[in-house]
Structure 1
C-alpha cells in the first residue's frame, strides 16, 4: 500500500523519542506499548515499533504526546494509513482525527519542541 502524506508543515524529529500508544478495536483494548516518533504534523505522524498492528478499518491508535515539559500533554487518536517493514521493526503512518482546538495545540507543541531542539 503506497501513501504519501502531502503536508506543508511536517517536523522530522532529529532525535526520535519514544511515546506511549494504545490500540483499540471495537471499544476493546488490544495492546499498550511504546513507539518511536519519527515525524509529526498537525494531521499525522510516523511511528516505528516492533509490534505488528492489525490493519483493520476499526482500529484506533491513541498516543500521548508530551514533547515539551512546559506544555500540557495531549492525547490524540488516529488510524493507520500505511505500514512498512524494516527488518524486525514496523513503520506506521497514522492519520490523526483531531478537531480545530487539538490541531492548534499540536502545532503549538511542535513549534515549541522545534525551538528547543535546534
Structure 2
C-alpha cells in the first residue's frame, strides 16, 4: 500500500511524543495503547508503535492530542492509509476525519507546539 501525504503544512516533531490511541472496528474496541507521534498536519499524522494493526476498511483509529498544556486536548478519529515496518515497530499514516473547527483547533495546537519547541 503506497500512499504519499501531499500537504504543504506538516510539522515533524523534533522529539516524538507518546499519544494514546484506540482501535475501533464495527463499534467494538479492539486495542488501546500508546504510540509515538512522529509528524502531524491538518489532515493527518504519522505514528509509530509496536502493535500490528489489522488493515481493514472499517478500522478506525482514535487519538487524543494533548500537545500544549494551555489548549484543550483534541479527540480525533482517522483511518490507516499507510503501514510500514522498522524492525519490531510499525509506522502508520493516519488520515484524520475532522470538521473545519477541529482542523482549525489542530492547526492552532501545532503552531503553538512548534513555537514552544524551537
TM-score clears 0.5 = yes
Tell me the alpha carbon deviations over residues 43-101 of structure 1, each in whole angstroms, 9 at most, x when there is no partner: 00000000000000000000000000000000000000010011100000000000000
Matches within 5 A, 1:88-107: 88-107=88-107
Aligned-pair CA distance for 1:2 = 1.0
Provide the secondary structure at the position in 2 that maps to 1:113. Answer: helix
> Which segments of 5 or more consecutive residues in structure 1 lack a partner in the other structure?
none
Partner of 1:72: 72
Deviating 4+ runs (over 3 angstroms): none
Aligned residues: 118
TM-score, length of structure 2 as denominator length: 0.99
TM-score, length of structure 1 as denominator length: 0.99
User: What is the RMSD of the two structures over their aligned residues, measured on CA atoms?
Assistant: 0.3
